[in-house]
Amino acid sequence: MIRSVLRGTGSALPRNCVTNAQLAERVDTSDDWIVERTGIRQRYIAGEGETTSSLAIEAARRALEAAGVEASEIGLIVLATATPDYTFPATATQVQQALGCRGGVAFDVQAVCSGFLYAMATADSLLRTGMAKKALVIGAETFSRILDWDDRTTCVLFGDGAGAVVLEAQDVAEDGPGILATRLHADGEHCDLLHVDGGPSSTGTVGKLRMKGREVFRHAVVNLAEVLREVLADVDMGIQAVDWVVPHQANARILDATARKLGLPAERVVVTVDQHANTSAASVPLALDVATRDGRIKPGDLVMFEAMGGGFTWGASLVRM
């Protein structure tokens, strides 16, 4: 059977690391509050010359190197972002140009924090139709540029970064590697709970992120536990078969609550929220790259990705490495 097989991962972070204590000099907050309520200790913030595309390009180069794949072999680039360099063209085409990939297909998808799951599902579908043989799937964000730095309820929660994977369509055995199952969801009913209050067609400005955190939290735990159960049912497996869960990194308490709901041991959850904060569409591939490079995730492991974000959008995907 033809499956999309994950060949390599890469990631990139801005140079500037900002601690909770540094933020406490700017807004009325404290390291204690941020650590206790979110698990976040620091985040990376893009400086001059660092953009969503520059981070995406760096992450993509590292993923290609890890996969041993040349840029010229890539026929499809799907990039998830809610913070593109420009309204258009798509950031994916900037990556394509910088890497020197000629031809093929390149576009962005926008599902905020679930963006990487949506991008991977899109690439997986296109690879399995034969539209391309090898794809780059990227999540890249510079949320620091849409934060209200006077709003302590949101500005302490986010960071910038990018993560990327190389997928290849391969003919594999039933128990072979690749994406085994994916479920995506959206529910526009709650779009006002997490949104940006501007855009090219409404205000003509970029706008700032606004969030009713407590309500988002409540929906996140319920939706994530449900979608994980759906994916496990699709492959007729229990949670104990999963070696690693690589979740969207929004809040350590959401990770703990979801794991508890599913009976998943905490030591099988990859946690990077303490180091990177919430990097939206970049958070899943960033965490995946960290846990792959430090040797935790190994070939043959069953890895579950999951995310939930503005819209709401949410989803999960089970991959054999």
**Site for ligand UT7, residues 268 to 307, rule: CB under 6 A:** 278
Q: How far is CA 42 from the centre of its chain?
A: 18
* Among residues 33, 98, 222, 261, the one that binds ligand UT7 under rule CB under 6 A: 33
Backbone angles phi and psi of 209, in degrees to 5: -70, 135
Cis peptide before 312 (omega within 30 of 0): yes
Q: Is 113 a catalytic residue?
A: yes
Please select the residue that binds ligand UT7; options are 220, 224, 242, 257, rule is CB under 6 A: 220
Q: Give the binding range for ligand UT7 (CB under 6 A) out of 209-217, 237-245, 264-272, 286-294.
A: 209-217
Single residue of 37, 41, 268, 293 touching ligand UT7 by CB under 6 A: 37
Quickly tell me which residue has 């995730």 as its tokens.
Answer: 297
Residue 196 binds ligand UT7, judged by CB under 6 A: no
> Which one, of 82, 92, 89, lies nearest residue 59 by Cα?
92
20 is catalytic: no
Residue 8 or 311: which CB sits closer to ligand UT7?
311
User: Is residue 259 within the footprint of ligand UT7 (CB under 6 A)?
Assistant: no
Residue of 113, 195, 251, 276 with catalytic role: 113
3-state secondary structure 146-195: HCCCCCHHHHCCECEEEEEEEEEEEECCCCCCEEEEEEEEECHHHHHHEE
Does position 254 bind ligand UT7 by CB under 6 A? yes
- From 5-13, 69-77, 214-222, 230-238, give the range in contact with ligand UT7 by CB under 6 A: 214-222
**Residue 306 to residues 104, 213, 317: CA-CA distances in angstroms?**
28, 19, 7
By the rule CB under 6 A, 156 interacts with ligand UT7: yes
Q: With respect to ligand UT7, which residue has the nearer C-beta, 256 or 301?
A: 256
CA distances from 57 to 7, 11, 121, 181 (A): 17, 9, 21, 28
Residue 52's alpha-carbon distances to 2, 68, 162, 163, 235, in angstroms, are 32, 24, 8, 11, 35
Residues labelled as active-site residues: 113, 248, 278
Interface with ligand UT7 (CB under 6 A): 29, 33, 37-38, 113, 152-153, 156-157, 213-214, 216-217, 220, 250-251, 254, 278, 308-309
